[in-house]
Structure formats: structure tokens, C-alpha cells
Amino acid sequence: GLGTLGGSESGAEGNNDRGDVAGFSLTAGDAAQHAVLWAAAGGPQDLGTFGGANSAAFAVNNGGAVVGYAQNVAGVDRPFLWRPGAGLR
């Protein structure tokens, strides 16, 4: 399995040719859903939010860039691009 961020569920939404997988995981106590990158060479990485509760990742390219949505502090879903070393944008 992919593993979780401490919650009871996770799911894959996209993968790349390197074996990286992007998707979501529930956090501890199933308190929120966060975007996750499961890199081929490591465990689940929480990609976070824009200050809101939830996010999800939909795709990862061969360069490791991830796209998805993340909520801001007002609870509004905003698109994001996450890149290794640069974080959510």
C-alpha cells in the first residue's frame, strides 16, 4: 500500500514514468485531507495547504512537479503547482 499521513485512507490520482504517485491522504484522526506525493525513493510527503483544511493532488510529471488544489484560510479551493525544493505555489 501507499501509506497514509496517519489517517484511515489514502488514494492515488496520478503517476509518472519514474514511479512517483500523487494523490491524497487523510491526516491523523481523519481530521483533514491533504495532497500527498509518494516518491519512488521515499514515503508519503504531505504537500500541505494554503492555510485551509484540505488539499488533493491530481497528477505528477516526470520532473516531480505536482498539480492539484489546496484550500486557503477562507476555505476556497485554489489550484496549485508544487515543485521539489519550491513547495506549494
pLDDT digits (tens, 9 = 90+) for 5-58: 999 999 999 999 999 999 999 999 999 999 999 998 888 999 999 999 999 999
Average pLDDT over residues 57-66: 97
CA pair distance 69, 43, nearest whole angstrom: 21
Sheet containing 77-83, strands listed edge to edge, beginning at the edge strand earlier in sequence = 51-60, 66-72, 77-83, 87-88
Which pLDDT does position 85 carry in this prediction?
A: 85
pTM: 0.93
Which residues, including other chains, have CB under 8 Å from residue 14's CB and lie 6 or more apart?
A: 21, 22, 23, 57, 58, 59, 60
